[in-house]
Amino acid sequence: MTGANSSPLRVAIAGLGTVGAGTLRVLRDNRDLLTQRCGRTIEVIAVSARDRKRDRGVDVAGIPWFDDAVAMAREAPADIFVELIGGSDGPARAACEAALSARRHVVTANKALIARHGVVLAKHAESVGVTLAYEAAVAGGIPIIKTLREGLAANRFTRVYGILNGTCNYILSTMRTSQRDFGNVLAEAQALGYAEADPSFDIDGIDTAHKLAILASLAFGTPVNFDAIHIEGIRHISLMDIHLAEELGYRIKLLGIAEMTDNGLQQRVHPCMVPLDAPIAHVEGAFNAVVCHGNFVNTIMQVGPGAGAGPTASAVVADIIDIARGRRTPTFTVPASELAEIPVSPMARHHGACYVRLIVVDRPGVFADVAAALRDNNISMEAVLQRGRRPGETVPVVLTTHESDEGAMRRTLEAIAALDAVTEPPRMIRIEPF
């Protein structure tokens, strides 16, 4: 297919949820603009979803309907198969494989699918001469895939990190601004549609990890390796932590971080204490942000809406436009067969400073026991905060440490947790010196 092709580009869309319906609206509302920019019209010639009777806010009358997405991928005379079903396996994967086998281009917003099976699908696409595109899989309306793969292709990257889940960023931001606890704000996020009824993928860091795995592959030219990611969520973040972070000069963000270290590529998802003077500390609400460190461009940060019908559909259609124009780029910066294995740097080798919150019985000698656990593992304290005195009752104690090895910090926390005066598991948040 070339940019000179003037015949209509035929598109089949599987999945008519928020993003699928949004994609139909973009293709219809901006039809003339897209025709002008592509040099050809884009026609939706088939759709597939589970419930024909559901009102999706967009008219699908007159468009051939398939109950089976896999059958549509095989049989509909489409140039592009758009997969918006979701899930790393099942119908989504089967339909994409069927579309590739039929030599159809595939556009997807499915981060779980790309994080788990992206390399296999990319090799399949490249072997039959079609495109596998997934701009909408990471950071919604932010064009970060195109940025890493094309705009910053001249750079060698040392670090890529960001706020990759709008639900978590909304919860942490709202806890701080409204002075409400985690459970209360989560319930509000669910009521507003920012969080699912089962929010585990978001708040436990899985969604962020899917996206980080994709970014790491693009930035470092290595196969997507979801299983190499250390993952922690935000369930344990308290309003007390939010307050104390501000007092110490930080803001708490759930970040996905991929960086080259002396030990190899380290990929990690966890809450971070971010300095208040770091630009990413001020990305609030449901917005996403991605920061790239390249050896010639230095530091680039992109901020934008990370989800929602409009932003995500915009990214889906951007991929369709590239295909309509005949633009071809490797799926992961280089051909999938040329992705290089890079040693994995385990989380135990991470080196950094930490914030630790303890709940202890207020009695003489407790702090000496905590200090001994730190000393025995060669951990140096930077600061200590205690709010109030209640002899014989529990009080919060917060300490920050100088940089140390993760393994030593873990052993220290285990020793502290074993102390009789410590009544709750110690909570650690890593401090990132951005």
Q: Which residues are catalytic?
A: 211
Residue type, 242: I
CA distance 423 to 393: 10
CA distance 285 to 368: 41
- Rounded to 5°, the CA angle 95-196-237 comes to 125
In terms of C-beta distances under 8 Å and separation of at least 24 residues, what long-range contacts does 72-75 make, across chains too? 72/12, 72/14, 72/46, 72/47, 72/48, 73/12, 73/14, 73/98, 73/99, 73/102, 73/104, 74/98, 74/99, 74/101, 74/102
Residue type, 341: E
**Distance, C-alpha 396 to centroid of its chain:** 32
CA distance 172 to 294: 29
DSSP string, 359-421: EEE--TTHHHHHHHHHHHTTPPEEEEEE----TTSEEEEEEEE-SEEHHHHHHHHHHHHTSTT
Say which residue the tokens 């901020």 belong to: 303
DSSP string, 54-104: ---SS--TTS-EES-HHHHHHHS--SEEEE-S-SSSHHHHHHHHHHHHTT-
CA distance 428 to 409: 9
Write the DSSP symbol of residue 31. Answer: H
